[in-house]
Structure 1
Amino acid sequence: MVGRFWEWLRGKKALVDAFFAVPVLLVSLPALLGGHQAMAEPAYLALTAGLVAPLVLRRTFPRTVFAVVALISGVQCAAGALPVAANVAVLMGLYTVAAGCAFRWALAAVVVGELGAVMATLRYPSGRDDQRSTLLMLSAVVAGVWILGLHMRTRRAYLSSVEERAARLERERDAEVKMAMAAERARIARELHDVVAHNVSVIVVQADGASFAIDTDVGRARQALETISLTGRTALSEMRRLLGVLREDDDAKAYAPQPGVAQLDDLVEQVRSSGLPVTFEVAGSPPDMSEGRQLTVFRIVQEALTNTLKHGGPRVAATVQLRYACDAVEVLVHDDGRGAAAADDGRGHGLVGMRERAAVYGGDVRAAPCPGGGFEVVARIPTTEAM
């Protein structure tokens, strides 16, 4: 409630300036009501009104208001009229120019104020020592008001820069959040590609086998259908888990953890059941690896075997080798299929996804046809962070 009031009041400059002009008017009233000895009441009233009334627009037109009150005070001094309480309007105008205008205008205003101090000292004679003291006092007041105005201008500029910086940081934070969301969606897209491509390839191979064997070998056809059913359920489960991260209201614990190197045996068995002979070899002791690195290894093997299923051709066999070193894990997936002769529809993103996954952890992937036939995927993933 208070914040709304200040926001509303901030836009009402004339109302606020009128509020600060009221005390000047109140101080001038006793002299008016009690009778002013050195000046007729109409003249005193006109002078007071001429000095106080412009203050209502003090912040709206700071230079104009200062020029008006300074001119009125200068005419008053030249005419020999005694100073009045409303002459403080000159100092208020000086402060406003120093606080709200460019420095050159603030400098011009302080020169005018100092000139007024000199005029007042010379116009109202007193002893030499008193004149010196009066000039020093008036100059100190003018300089103090001017410095206070400059300080307020600097403070307002600082607060404005802080607010601008906060707004910029907020915009940058929002942009980073959007970038993170886009990166997460890209990761999910790669995950979905790996899941769908692999499982659909297995389903297609099994369906082809079942269609050929349904009349001659019912048992084998039944086994192929069971594999299709199991593969389909696995694909749906992984897709639900991946798509679930896009649902803010869903409980993330309801989804299975990401696959890792421990699930490679299940992956190989699944591929074998689809009719692709796969030899799986492991060398070395598995070091402690983060879940992200394990997922990268799993997806590389999965994508390589999926490519073998899709492009290897008939009677193809594959070999998967996992070598654990002290600081990295090396993955080798080799098949004896068509290799360079395999058709490419140009719509696959598996090799790009493998390289991106490996690059995240400082690794690399090399995928190319082998001389004499076949295709080979070689990947190296560091198991520790680079220092």
Structure 2
Amino acid sequence: MTEAAAEPGHAQKVLTGPRSTGHAVLAAARAARAVTAARRWASRVPPVVRDSLLPALLLLNIVTTRAPRELPVAVALTAALALPLLWRRRAPLTVVGAVAGAAFVQWLLDVQLPADVALLVALYTAAAHSGRRGTLIAGAVVEAGVLLACLRWATEGAFLTPFVAVTATAVAATVLGVNVRTTRAYLAALEERAARLEREQEQQARLAVAEERTRITREMHDIVTHNLSVMVALTDAAVYAQHRAPHRTTTAMLQISETGRQALTDMRRSLGILRADEPDAQRHPLPGIAQLEALADQMGAAGLPTRLDVHGGHAHVPATAQLTVYRLVQEALTNTLKHTPAGTHATVRIRCSTGSVTVDVTDSGPRPPRPATAPTGHGIPGMRERAAAYGGTLRAGPLPGGGWGVHTRLVLDSAAAVPA
């Protein structure tokens, strides 16, 4: 009978436990939502309105709790203590001085008021908006007021306890204000750093775009100038030989066609590198030192006999450095083809070592005098840019024994080497 009677009570306790826990969780959730809503509402309220709430509450408390005969002095002192808080964000140290002065008058009149909390609010504001020196000054002023208040209003034999308690409250207000100031400065530093990083990323992106644009322009210049110069030379040779040697005309036209197809392939390859889904960039590798022999044959067919000497193995030379060597030789031979008379011979010497590649391109033809108003072109400046990408200095000019020469040395192990 006892067990049967106890069972319903036990069941009720088991059911009541989870139900009460659920009510507690719901209450906590409601409280959290209320606090969040209060914070959102407070953030929307103007600072002047928020700062006026405490003075209004203190004045209302004095009006409703003080006797009529004490009301004038109490209201005047409360107003002197609380109203300066309206300007605490604009001039925190001045507000500390004004509130401390009103508190000192209150101490002289021997009147205790709840509005003394304004000292703690002013101290917190000074710590949150002033530097270390201002915080120390405000803390010293408030601590002096705490000492005077405890000396006058503490009960006999109980000075230490209220003094320590009020001092701890003042220290807590100071620490809270310093933490707010530190957090604000930290967030401002983070925002400034993020803005600076964003500006740097934008600048780097613009520089990368400009560098890539320059690289593409230089590559297109080399491809178009060289192939068009070869095609023009072959066309002139075909026209000259069409009546005297027709078979040479056919050979020249076939070479023109091959040169045009090679130009299209080079352009498609160079532009295809910019697209990951372009298959031609993989089917046609970049030209390098191994393709210089074909380039020399092409220049010889265009009317510029070219001798090629390659010393040392070039298997260890990176593909981008080999492309630079190829373009330098191509541009130098193209300039020779364009600016020298018939019968000129060219020589290309490539010396490969472990850490460098030396390029020498010379010819035997004189250069015609350039008019003062003639444009300088982009050939030699582009060659200098390519050489500079591998730590080299390009020299181009007439040779002592006649002819023209181009010389540079590419440093392969340079940390500053960038794709040319």
Equivalent-residue separation in structure 2 for 1:18 and 1:135 (angstroms):
29
Q: Quick one: which of 333, 351, 376 aligns to 2:361?
A: 333
Select the structure with the greater relative contact order (CA < 8 A; seq sep ≥ 6).
1
Structure 1 residues 74-120: Cα deviation after superposition (integer angstroms, max 9, x where no partner): 44333322232x42222011110121024454344223312321331
| Structure 2 residue corresponding to 1:76, chosen from 102, 106, 115 | 106
Task: Tell me how far 1:331 sits from its aligned partner.
Answer: 2.6
How far the C-alpha of 1:136 sits from its partner, in A, is 4.1
Conserved in 2, the CA contact under 8 Å of 1:311 and 1:342?
A: no
- How far apart are residue 250 of structure 1 and its match? 7.0
Mapped to 2, the partners of 1:65 and 1:11 lie a distance apart of 22
Q: Secondary structure at the match of 1:381?
A: strand
**Partner residue, 1:302:** 330
Mean Cα deviation higher: 272-281 or 153-162: 153-162
Instruction: Please give the alpha-carbon distance, in whole angstroms, between the structure 1 residues aligned to 2:68 and 2:273.
Output: 86
Counterpart in the other structure of 2:409 = 380
> How far apart are the structure 2 equivalents of 1:144 and 1:350?
73
- Listed as ranges, the gaps of 5+ residues in structure 2 are 1-35
Cα separation, 2, equivalents of 1:250 and 1:10: 51
Measured after TM superposition, the shift of residue 192 of structure 1 is: 2.1
Is 1:352 the counterpart of 2:381? The answer is yes
Per-residue deviation, 1:41: 6.9
- Give the CA deviation at 1:197: 1.8
Q: Is the 8 A contact 1:362 1:381 kept in 2?
A: yes
Matched ranges for 1:234-249 at <5 A: 234-243=262-271
Q: Give the secondary-structure state (helix, strand or coil) at the position aligned to 1:223.
A: helix
* Paired position in structure 2 for 1:289: 317
Which amino acid in structure 1 is aligned with residue 229 of structure 2? S
Deviates more, 1:209-218 or 1:183-192: 209-218
Aligned 8 A contact 1:287 1:383 in 2: no
Which range moves more in the overlay, 9-18 or 103-112? 9-18
Identical residues among aligned pairs (%): 41
Q: Give the 3 Å change call, closer, same or farther, for CA 241–52 of structure 1 in structure 2.
A: farther
Whether 1:224 and 2:258 are equivalent positions in the alignment is no
1:25 touches 1:52 (CA, 8 Å); kept in 2? no
Normalised by the length of structure 2, the TM-score is 0.74
Select 2:122's aligned residue among 90, 93, 118.
93
Is the partner of 2:113 in helix, strand or coil? coil
Residues 205 and 274 in structure 1, CA contact (< 8 A), matched pair in contact too: yes
Q: Note the C-alpha offset of 1:386.
A: 6.9
Q: 2:43 corresponds to which residue?
A: 9
Residue in structure 1 matching 2:234, options 202, 206, 216: 206
Instruction: Describe how 1:1-387 pairs up with structure 2 within 5 A.
Output: 9=43, 12-14=46-48, 17=51, 21=54, 25=57, 35=65, 55=85, 58-60=88-90, 62-63=92-93, 65-67=95-97, 69-84=99-114, 86-124=115-153, 126-127=155-156, 129-243=157-271, 251=277, 253-255=279-281, 256-339=284-367, 341=368, 343=370, 345-385=374-414
CA-to-aligned-CA distance 1:111-150 (integer Å, 9 cap, x gap): 33123213312332532x4234433443343344334423
Structure 1, unaligned runs of 5 or more: none
Q: CA RMSD in A?
A: 3.8
Report the Cα distance in structure 2 between the residues aligned to 1:241 and 1:72, rounded to whole angstroms.
Answer: 84
Match of 2:16 in 1: none
Change (3 A) 1:53 1:236: farther
Provide Cα deviations, 1:327-351, integer angstroms capped at 9, x if missing partner: 3333332222115x56474523323
The worse-fitting range, judged by mean Cα deviation, of 325-334 and 87-96 is 325-334
Once structures 1 and 2 are overlaid, which stretch shifts more, 147-156 or 191-200?
147-156
Structure 1 stretch 266-275 or stretch 221-230: which is displaced more? 221-230
Deviation of the 1:306 alpha carbon: 0.6
Indicate the larger mover: 116-125 or 55-64.
55-64
TM-score if structure 1 supplies the norm length?
0.79
Distance 1:271 1:39, change over 3 A: farther
